[in-house]
Chain A
Amino acid sequence: MLNHILHLSDKIFDPSLPQKPTRDGYGEGLLQAGEENQNVVALSADLTESTRAEAFAKKFPERFFECGVAEQNMATIAAGLGVAGKIVFISSYATFSPGRNWEQIRTTISYNDSNVKIAGHHAGISVGPDGATHQAIEDIATMRVMANMKVFVPCDALEAKKATVAAAKIWGPVYLRFGREKTPLFTTEATPFQPGKAEIFWQGSKPQVVIISCGILLYNALIAARDLEKEDKIGTIVLNCHTIKPIDEKEITALAKKTGAVVTVEEHQVMGGLGGAVAEVLAKHAPTPMEFVGMKDTFAESGPPGALIEKYGMGVKDIKTAVKRVLRRRK
């Protein structure tokens, strides 16, 4: 059943559940951070509206800098602003930032320890019709491998807002990942968000598998958990691992030991992302059979977001299959 302590939406499995893109949460969070602290500045690379930096740009025009189509310049200007005492947010699509400007982020933001927050938008294949050039499926890996960098992948618009506000209050480089499409809004204002602390969203009876997820696919994981309990009498735990780095080693290890099997679910390559991070934790503390739901070493294509998620093996059905497969390997 749902973890009621976390105050998730009471309409969570209801067709009337509202939907909102996580990028909207970023826009609201950025605006709030700007209102709370006059040292917050924002930069955009010709994608101000679609990355939702627009509300901040309108309210604080003197603290907003349009860089044009120049992501490398945006990251390095941000590095200077961050060292000079500003709290800097840079927004673009994740394939361009942190895609194209990875080295600038590495040298001038991470190694240089500058106070810059990198907002990677239109992440995952759910960008849809734009096609594989615009579908970031490597960004969690390329950001979490960087020393000094923290990585947040919020699951819905409200968590996205909380993560953005939290990032402004943390010193140093943070990567934030957002999606384009409207997705279920299943947390509430009262749901806690604490960087580095994973939360159990679903607690099944006699759980045999823990499903660890981040980002918008967490909703699919919850549907799968509900169905498995109802249809197959398989109890699972669903863990919202919104912080990929620093990862909640303690909770992940405890739940792996408790259940004896793990499935990770992410809109990202199965190599190097959430699944990789969880595997690193478990190999060290509690070797456990694992299945990985995500992109399987391939690029996707244009198409409707929902259909793409199904075609590339990240739908509810695929999560259920992965749970059953890992159960057979469970000792």
Chain B
Amino acid sequence: MEGLHDKKIKFLEEMANRLRQDVIKALVSAGSGHSAGPLGMADIFTAFYFHILRHNPKKPQLPDRDRLILSNGHICPILYATLARAGYFPLEELETLRKINSRLQGHPHRKSLPGLETTSGPLGSGISQAIGFALAARLDQKKYRIYCLTSDGEHQEGNTWEAVMFAGKHKLNNLTVLVDRNNIQIDGFTENVMPLEPLKAKYEAFNWHVIEINGHDFYQIIGAVAEAHAIYEKPTVIIAHTIPGRGVSFMERDFLWHGKPPNEEQARQALRELRTLGQKIQSEHQ
């Protein structure tokens, strides 16, 4: 990773804002899908695809590329927007999200679109698949790193903890998991539905190195990944505290926005807020 400077941070912030707008447009066009998670993860996706990952959108199958595994496939609108902005496929294609004959499936399908490393949707299977990549990299003596982005809610799945146990045993230091700790899931707040806390202590008990960050601070996101690279004796998990629906006032922190898209009026308002950064600046579109 290159070093960070204010100019790069500004670029990342602007990119994340653009991606949030892409997500809103894609969702309103699709008429179904998830809003809160993709908006909350926009900064983290930006940091990975525009700073952290070693990848080449023109050569998506490059053998030594870093692998990013999205475990909670339902937040794919942000993955698709990021891949398009990074150059994996044309930006216009975002409008085909969830439509017939589209490469942008409602939940990601590896074989459908360049840049996807796995197929996900049913929760709790991402860390295991990332472990598969980590073991293969180790066997082949490859230096590429494996990142798995997961939701907090899917830590209610048994499969997740089977994977956490396995990675701890094998000290998979080429694997970094990032948990989107946004505290919401479809039926409500995670701590009401099925409490996950103390999440940090749980991972530590499974022999992981744990870092907690503000998932909207680029210095913290990128700094945590750099720290994970330096940990040799354990896999690392980054618990990223994020605000679901981030950037759109009426979606923020409201679990009702977990699994639905905005209607046209709501989308207009959301885009207005994003373009003006919550009335802080004048938008050229107004």
Contacts and interface: CB of A to CB of B under 8 A. Distances in A.
Mutual binders A and B: yes
Interface of A: 41, 62-63, 65, 67-68, 70, 72-73, 75-86, 103-104, 107-108, 111-113
B131 interface: yes
Given A84-B132, A108-B129, A76 B139 contact: no
B99 interface: no
Given A79-B128, A107-B125, A112-B110, A63 B119 contact: no
A72 B117 contact: no
B132 A80 contact: yes
15 contacts: A67-B162, A70-B166, A72-B125, A72-B162, A76-B159, A77-B132, A79-B118, A79-B125, A79-B129, A80-B132, A83-B118, A107-B121, A108-B118, A108-B120, A112-B111
A108 B71 CA distance: 11
Contact of A86 (B119, B134, B139): B139
Contacts of B166: 67-68, 70, 73, 77
Given A76-B132, A84-B136, A68 B119 contact: no
A100 B159 CA distance: 11
The DSSP consensus for interface residues of chain B is helix
Interface of B: 67, 69, 109-111, 117-122, 124-125, 128-137, 139-140, 158-159, 162-163, 165-166
A72 B122 CA distance: 12
Contacts of B135: 41, 65, 77, 80-81
B125 A104 contact: yes
Given A80-B133, A83-B132, 18 more contacts: A68-B166, A73-B128, A73-B159, A73-B162, A73-B163, A76-B163, A77-B129, A77-B163, A79-B118, A79-B128, A80-B118, A80-B128, A80-B131, A80-B134, A84-B137, A107-B125, A108-B129, A112-B110
A107 B137 contact: no
Contacts of B119: 107-108, 111-112
A67 B159 CA distance: 12
A70 B158 CA distance: 9
A149 to B, nearest CB: 15
Contacts of A107: 119-122, 125
B122 A103 contact: yes
A77 B129 CA distance: 5
A72 B159 contact: yes
Nearest to A85: B136
Contacts of A77: 128-129, 131-132, 135, 163, 166
A80 B163 contact: no
B128 A81 contact: no
Nearest to B121: A107
Contacts of B134: 80
Given A62-B139, A73-B166, A108-B125, A82 B132 contact: yes
Contact of B165 (A68, A79, A81, A112): A68
Contacts of A65: 135
B209 to A, nearest CB: 21
Contacts of A67: 162, 166
